[in-house]
Amino acid sequence: MVWIRTAAFFLLLSAAAAGDLKNREIPRGDIPGIFLAGLLVFNPIRLLGALAGAPIFILALICKDRLGFGDVWLTIAAGSVVGFEHGLWAQIIAYSSMLFFYVGCRIYRKYRPHGKVLNQPYPLAPFISFGFIAAYFL
């Protein structure tokens, strides 16, 4: 049963990342699916992992126009699968990889032939998915 949970978790995180890349919106069925994947092998302690989404929830309340609540719900659902400690590590991995990607894009755009640096939003779900998949193996 554990391998079914793992496969469903990875598949749904990948689908959420692909949907966010394509449409800038996380598909609605992915988030309940991730939560239900965590319930396949029930562990009440892991449900506390949903609290790992509290920092991003507070950040979404403060920065209403910059962070979507789909990212918040994705973090909460995935946190309930991996647990609190792994959920915090997943966010550290996710936001660090987002930072490295953003800095790399800024450097590339600064030195490209046009020389114009663009400020554009990036989808966050691929980085959240990467962070939670990496933290799953910790």
Model confidence over 111-131: pLDDT tens digits?
A: 776 756 567 778 899 999 999
Which runs of consecutive H residues, i.e. helices, occur in 40-83? 44-47, 54-62, 69-82
Residues of the chain with pLDDT under 50: none
Structure tokens at 47: 């449900």
Measure the CA angle with vertex 26, ends 23 and 30; round to 5°: 135
Q: What is the pTM of this model?
A: 0.87
Residue with tokens 């799953």: 136
Number of domains in the chain: 1
CA dihedral 120, 134, 15, 51 (to 10 degrees): -80
- For position 54, what pLDDT does the model report? 87
Q: Kindly give, in sequence order, each residue whose CB lies less than 8 Å from that of residue 107, ignoring residues fewer than 6 positions away.
A: none
- For position 115, what pLDDT does the model report? 59
Q: Which domain holds residue 52?
A: 2-136
